[in-house]
A and B are shown apart, each in its own frame.
Chain A
Amino acid sequence: MSATHEIAGTITAVSPVPGALALLEKGGLDYAHVRFDDVAPAGTIRTGPGSQAEDATRWRDFLDRLRGYQRESVVMDREPFWVPIVELVAPESVKGSCRTTASQSKSSSLRLDIAGSAFGNGLRTTLATDLSFTCEGATLQLAVQVSITASRYATRRGPAIIRVDVDSATKQLRLQNVGPEQLPDPLLPPLFELVQRVDLNAVHDPGTYTWAQRLERETNWSLALGAAFPQLGGSSVSLSLTGVEATEVAFELPYGRDYLIYRRSGSSSLLPRCAIAPPVQ
């Protein structure tokens, strides 16, 4: 497989999710109607009914603070950026495969919400089912193309914020090979979560053992933009991603070695990954 492989026609829907600043500028957000889901970029929180986290004062303070910001400049305008949404990691001689499937409980097979930073606009994309890909001895990323607009907002009360709007006109998706993954030993939480250790070193047959899992769950993570766009001024600007996955993943594991099936935080954690386990001392 080449390093990058574009796939056409696999994003079935793209819809904008207006951010709080855009709503505020259009007069579409006020104390009475604002809801947490309209503005929170960070997923489910553990707050119960009647808690102060939901009280009106908090929303008023928040909107008052947003109202104090004025757009100062456009830092970058519709720069294309590939957002990796699924990563399939298979070590040497292990064949990994992934297929998106129809969901039993969610409305889409593979849904991805990309929230802009600092209350910027976001995107909701839906991928087709039966999209499948394989890789061996590589990290294969399924990435969606978006365009990024960043604006600087200033306030007299404190430091400026960089609003990042995410948009998509192209509906483009591609597979890109980013090389093997470097792993620490052992794989400790919270960066790593060991799903299963598969011990096959005592088996000396020439065949393979297939480890497979069907998954359906929601997860969220963030993606720093500082490395790709130094003009954004540091690592604090990031996209927040929430994904609903309904996938089947399989690894064909040759006998004679041990393997670790694991998840990794801090990048797309939609799929389990595979690594060859270091020998036991």
Chain B
Amino acid sequence: MIGAAAFDEAIQRLAEGQPLDRPFPLAEQAYAAFQRAEKLNARYDVHGDAAVLTESVSILRGALSKLPDGTRYRLAYVNQLLHALNKLTPISPTTQHMDEAVALGRVSVEIIGKLDKVPRITGRVYLELAQALLARAERTGDVPDATEAESFAAKSVTFATSREDAASGLVIQAKAAMVRFGRERNRDDLGRAVFCLKQVYEAQDVSLRVRGEAHLLVADTFVIGNSRKALPAEIYDPLAAAAVHYAAAAELIDEPQQRYYASVQAVGTRALRATEPYHLHERPAEGYWRINKADLHELDSCIEALRSMVKDAPAAHRSSSYNELARALRDRGFLRSDAADALEARQAQAIAANTADPDSVREAGMLQNLGLMDWEIWRNHGRDAEVLTAAFQAWDKADQIVSAGFLDATVAAKLTDADDWNRMRMRLVEAAVQLDTEEPGRGWSRIAMERAEGARSALLRSMVARGTLPAPAEVSPHDLAEERRLLDALLELERVEFAADRRGAPAASSQRQHVLASLRRVWQEWERLGPEARRYVALRRGDRLSWDGIKRLAAPGRALVSLWHGRDGLGAAIQRPDSPDPRLISHSLTRADLTEMMSNYHLEVDPVGVGFGAETWHEPLVPLLADLSEQLSGVTEVVVSPQGQLHLLPWPALLQRACDRNAQDRLAVVIEPALSVFAMLTARPGSKSAGAQVSGDPTGNLPFAAEEAAQVGAVLHAEPLLGAQATRGAVLDALGSAEIVHIAAHGSMSRENPLESGLVLADGSLTARDLLAQRLSARLVVLSACDSGRGTLGGGDELLGLTDALLQAGIGSLVVSLWPVPDQATAALMTAFHQRRAGGQPTAAALTDASLDIAAVHEHSWFWGAFIVVGLNA
């Protein structure tokens, strides 16, 4: 064992240029490695040669592994390796590098914490750790990483030994705040970023390069903040300020590519300001400042400048510079109704898309813009179907790029990034609907339904896809067992992430990449085995349901309805079992009208709403419902897949009223988060669980819930668990072992934190978060409680709450409520429901008939319309 003291003394002598008393190969090699790595790092700073950086990392890793325990030089080696890794990460952004850098940073901080006095490199240590955390946060969008990066960057400023280091710390703080803003849209983060950057670009004693970068970052911040309408009130002309900062950055930055980027952005932002009718922020005395009139003279000058600049664009900025030119031309074409500008803009945007990194999110963004330009040309200049088809194709390609990256994204990213893309996906669907009108019989209705469903509940879809599916004959049991092991690992990681307040879990990200890579290899191999295996893999991956897959779901007597609300209003695709193609219907309903309808809905189907008398909230839906009623004639079961806020509406009650069927041909309605979820549940082998468990009135203050449990227990031949017997453990056990589980209890729904929504049982709440960690097998679960099926819309099209938690945990069929329900009427409804079901009716038909029986007594749908069947019509 080498003594640390002897090693330290030897290193010190070597550092002071003194010869060693006797040979000490370990110290000599370690010292030489450090010196070599330092030189390599310096060479990289000058020449930008990534190979030398990789060599430096390798040398330092080797040296570090041989250092004796207790040496005081460990901190220097760790920090040097971290420094090299931080330089390497932008070139080779692997999760392994990022995780190693963060781990090294934490080791450094731990070493400092144990020292008697604060070493001189403390500021540098904090700075490197902050940099490592920021790199990972920028890559994954992880909020806890960003928060920690900001915190360590602030500490690095406190301990900084040079102005340059302090400035670097402030810049990292700002960047970390911007990552948080990207996730949470909190304007305080934006304000903090601006504050930090202001200290850097105003500082006289830091290098021009650092000040220039601060100008560049603050300009980006203003542009992002302006587009999100989230800037602090003091910044009352953000685009003008951004243009000035970009120009200042172009003056101060030497590096040619960055300087070019700043120059183009300066002109592009001026063009944007010249055209965008925008609010300046509120000033108490004067009210809002508003610029409504575009400055066409300024716009002309910007377009000329941009036309000239794009010719010299370096490859890295070709896409972004053509994007700026395209936007300016598009805006001018729009303002002057000039087709030539619109066409030139379209050409520039096509170059922007073609020169972006292939299959990158940036390419998807460029294609999204290209689609919009094509769509505007179609609408404003001739309504040529070919142009609309081009818009569709651009959006469709963008959708493919974004969807391909979906599996790799963290849960947090899946929830927050999806909104922007889903808006585009709705435009894509509406383009297909329009094309079906213009080119009937060419398959556009199939495409519209397929794409509408493709955008729906993608996260839930991917989590349900990890459950049990029928094994394809082509795959061996051994291979299936290996896949199961990987799937279980993935599911566990995603559940941890999902439950972590939707902010992601950094530790999970690299493990997930590893598991996903293994799964992809397995799936690629299986796809070559045959059609059954291909279908299996598509379900497993959570792929968009193909048209054939949708059509297969429309069994005899069953129609499928996909609903959406987009820019043009309400739309629906209806696939009848006896029709080769879906029928598309559209009705105008503005976003404001939809918002007002939802507000009236929530007030009317509410205990207090009963007093308002007749229900009127659904009147805007009457034309759509009339069309649906006509399309559903002769059908006895309809599977409805709503989108966005439409998830929250009581489609069974609405369709019953609209269709007004008699008792013999009642319409049974089943609701799905997405048709693809229905496909997976349908494909799932039957549950082997048996028996029933009924719980009632766990809190002792719902007399009718107790009565309900007794009566339902009698129907299902189960001794009910009443009051204190209805515990979390008992209910969870039943969810994992019984065939039917019925719970009559208080429900608690949290809009702010939907994973805390749950059922109030005798010993506490059973929440959605608890259920995420479970593997359950009950065939039918009835949650006879308030709001048990009313989720909260997360990002994209995810509805977070008990329903999603139970479906992903393995439950196939649910009966849940959409609003606060009355104790007495619910008891009567549920008893009738189970009696009808025991008499042989399927779940949805039994619920429909039981609901309509209550409707005969209480006309207001608050009493009878809250409950829906989700999943399978067991």
Where the two chains meet, the residues of A that have a C-beta atom closer than 8 Å to any C-beta of B are 20, 36, 39-53, 55, 58, 61-62, 65, 117-119, 158-159, 161-162, 188-191, 193, 217-222, 224, 234-238, 240, 265-266
Contact = CB atoms under 8 A, between A and B. Distances in A.
B613 A190 contact: no
A62 B604 CA distance: 9
Contact of B823 (A44, A217, A240): A44
Contacts of B776: none
Interface in B815-859: 820-826, 828-829, 831-832, 835, 850, 853-854, 856-859
B859 A47 contact: no
Nearest to A45: B820
7 tightest CB-CB pairs across the interface, nearest first?
Answer: A190-B828, A48-B746, A48-B748, A266-B857, A48-B760, A47-B786, A189-B832
Interface in B576-619: 599-600, 602-603, 606-608, 610-614, 616
A123 B826 CA distance: 26
A62 B608 contact: yes
A44 B828 CA distance: 14
B10 interface: no
Contact of A46 (B599, B600, B785, B862): B785
B380 interface: no
A51 B748 contact: yes
B702 A236 contact: no
B277 interface: no
Contacts of A237: 613
Given A45-B821, A159-B614, A188 B746 contact: no
A47 B787 CA distance: 8
Contact of A219 (B701, B745, B758, B824): B824
Please indicate which of the listed interface residues A44, A158, A159 has the most CB atoms of chain B within 10 Å of its own CB. A44
B824 A220 contact: yes
A206 to B, nearest CB: 36
Interface centre among A118, A162, A190, A234 (most CB of B within 10 A): A190
A43 B608 contact: no
11 contacts: A40-B608, A41-B611, A43-B824, A45-B786, A46-B744, A46-B747, A46-B786, A48-B786, A58-B606, A158-B616, A189-B850
B39 interface: no
B832 A46 contact: no
A158 B748 contact: no
A222 B858 contact: yes
A234 B860 CA distance: 13
Contacts of B832: 188-190
Contacts of B787: 47, 51-53
A55 B862 CA distance: 19
B786 A266 contact: no
A50 B748 contact: yes
Contacts of A162: 613
A75 to B, nearest CB: 13
B835 A51 contact: no
Contacts of A158: 600, 616
A51 B749 contact: yes
A190 B853 contact: yes
B614 A189 contact: no
A238 B611 CA distance: 9
Contacts of A20: 608, 611
B746 A161 contact: no
Nearest to B855: A190
B824 A44 contact: yes
A55 B751 contact: yes
Given A50-B748, A51-B749, A188-B835, 15 more contacts: A45-B607, A46-B784, A46-B786, A46-B822, A47-B787, A47-B820, A48-B746, A50-B756, A51-B746, A51-B748, A158-B616, A161-B612, A162-B613, A189-B853, A236-B859
Interface residues of B, number: 58
Point out which of A45, A47, A234, A238 has the most chain B C-beta atoms below 10 A from its C-beta.
A45
B750 A190 contact: no
B703 interface: yes
A32 B825 CA distance: 30
A223 B525 CA distance: 68
B765 interface: yes
B831 A189 contact: yes
Nearest to B751: A52
Contact of B828 (A42, A50, A218, A265): A265
Contacts, number: 157
Given A36-B607, A46-B826, A161 B613 contact: yes
A119 B758 CA distance: 31
Nearest to B754: A52
Nearest to B596: A157
Contacts of B98: none
B27 interface: no
Contacts of A221: 857
A189 B828 contact: yes
A20 B760 CA distance: 30
A190 B831 contact: yes
Contacts of A58: 602, 606
Contacts of B448: none
B822 A45 contact: yes
A219 B824 CA distance: 7
A31 to B, nearest CB: 14
A118 to B, nearest CB: 5
A46 B745 contact: yes
Contacts of B829: 190
Contacts of A193: 828, 831
Residue picked from A41, A50, A53, A119, most chain B C-beta under 10 Å: A53
Contacts of B853: 188-191
B705 interface: yes
B702 A53 contact: no
A234 B614 contact: yes
A188 B834 CA distance: 12
A61 B606 CA distance: 12
A134 B194 CA distance: 84
A120 B747 CA distance: 29
B749 A52 contact: yes
A61 B765 CA distance: 28
B603 A62 contact: yes
Contacts of B824: 43-44, 219-220
Nearest to A119: B611
Contact of B856 (A50, A61, A234, A266): A266
A159 B617 CA distance: 10
B213 to A, nearest CB: 44
A40 B607 contact: yes
A165 to B, nearest CB: 12
A158 to B, nearest CB: 5
A20 B609 CA distance: 12
A51 to B, nearest CB: 4
Contacts of B705: 46
A61 B610 contact: no
Contacts of B702: 44, 46
Given A40-B608, A159-B614, A47 B751 contact: no
Nearest to B785: A46
Interface in B42-57: none
Contacts of A220: 824
Contacts of A49: 746, 748, 760
Contacts of A234: 614
Nearest to A221: B857
B747 A51 contact: yes
A217 B703 CA distance: 9
B865 to A, nearest CB: 14
Contacts of A191: 853, 856-857
B747 A117 contact: no
A134 to B, nearest CB: 28
Given A61-B599, A118-B611, A43 B857 contact: no
Nearest to B863: A42
A5 to B, nearest CB: 28
A53 B760 contact: no
| Residue of B765, B826, B857 ringed by the most chain A CB atoms within 10 A | B857
Contacts of B820: 45-47, 51, 53
